[in-house]
Amino acid sequence: MDFTLKEWVQLAGQKPLSEAAWMAQAEESGSHRDEVWKRMLSMLRHMQEAVKDGLRAELHSVSGLAGGQADKLYMRYTAGKALCGNLVGKAIAYALATAESNACMGKIVAAPTAGACGILPGAVLAYMEERNVSEEVAVNALFTAAAVGISIATQASIAGAEGGCQAECGAAAAMTAAALVEMEGGSAQMCVEAAAFAIMNLLGLVCDPVAGLVEVPCVYRNVGASGIAFTAADMVLSGIRCPIDPDEVIQAMKEVGDALPGALRETGEGGCAACPCMVMAYKA
């Protein structure tokens, strides 16, 4: 399914992007479409378990660099104090919870990678709960996200070691923006334009894991990229058109990733990973 975003839109026609992705996956895998649907529903439920695991206040990674922080964000949300409101407030808490669960060796769904695993689940699950929509709506959103993720993976990269964190959190934010637009009833074209806006706003994001671990700053970037996904979706839903072709934005991501120095591509040699306080803290 090496479809460009333009090809996905053409395949969808007047149908939702999720339906095109669902049917394409069934055809490629040779599975009945009901089986494909059940597998995605299973992914949704694994995402819910990861959030539950990550919200435990006592959660801590072996290194001590991650864990226990999502609970604080969630408490702020439940107290009605989230500056970004209930939906986004819950989404960022869930995003951090999933990312911390991953850092603490919990089971997560790579969406599209482990390092960016919280962005899509956080948004979809929070939307499902806050807007009181069905699992069917959420599963549809995951299919839409998958279509966008495939386009990014085949035209650029979803690996931090290859393209920086723009390839991980950037791709996840793009997938999430498209999923949110689908949940709001947007067209396939609107979905891919939201994805392009998200990538545009995370272009150049480096991959600089402290001590080579997917903990700092990774887990916190899941929070920030979640906010970008919501703003990208809101722009498109308000009628703002992306001024650059979405596939060209993906190509720009690839070119920027290729241009990043090795120190900023998951080697742990630059960026936040090289900050003296973090180097000393880990050695201590």
Taking only the tens place, the pLDDT of each residue in 216-254 is 999 999 999 999 999 999 999 999 999 999 999 999 999
Task: Tell me the C-alpha to C-alpha distance, in Å, between residue 212 and each of 112, 200, 206, 215, 284.
Answer: 19, 26, 14, 9, 16
Residue 281: pLDDT band with limits 50, 70, 90: low
- The answer on pLDDT for 172 being more than 90 is yes
**Cβ 137 vs Cβ 105: under 8 Å:** no
Cα 38 from Cα 53, distance rounded (Å):
23
User: What are 132's two structure tokens?
Assistant: 């009181």
Cα 13 from Cα 106, distance rounded (Å):
39
For 185, what's the count of Cα atoms within 13 Å in the CB-facing half-sphere? 2
Cα 172 from Cα 193, distance rounded (Å):
14
- Residue 153 has a CB neighbour count (10 Å cut-off) of 17
For residue 240, what is the DSSP state? P
Residue 1: pLDDT band with limits 50, 70, 90: confident
DSSP string of 58-74, one letter each residue: T---TTSSSSSSHHHHH
Residue 283: pLDDT band with limits 50, 70, 90: low
Mean pLDDT of the chain, nearest integer: 97
The count of domains in the chain is: 1
Q: What pLDDT, on the 0 to 100 scale, is given for residue 130?
A: 98
Cα 75 from Cα 236, distance rounded (Å):
31
Mean pLDDT of 253-278: 96
Q: What pLDDT, on the 0 to 100 scale, is given for residue 278?
A: 81
pLDDT tens by residue, 77-108: 999 999 999 999 999 999 999 999 999 999 99
Q: Which domain holds residue 238?
A: 5-283
Residue 149: pLDDT band with limits 50, 70, 90: very high
pLDDT tens by residue, 62-77: 999 999 999 999 999 9
**Cβ 174 vs Cβ 195: under 8 Å:** yes
Residue 191: pLDDT band with limits 50, 70, 90: very high
Cα 254 from Cα 167, distance rounded (Å):
8
In the chain, the amino acid numbered 167 is: A
Backbone angles phi, psi at 207, to 5 degrees: -110, 110
Cα 39 from Cα 21, distance rounded (Å):
14
Residue 284: pLDDT band with limits 50, 70, 90: low
Cα 125 from Cα 129, distance rounded (Å):
6
- The answer on pLDDT for 214 being more than 70 is yes
Residue 279: pLDDT band with limits 50, 70, 90: confident
Tell me the β-bridge partners of 207.
265
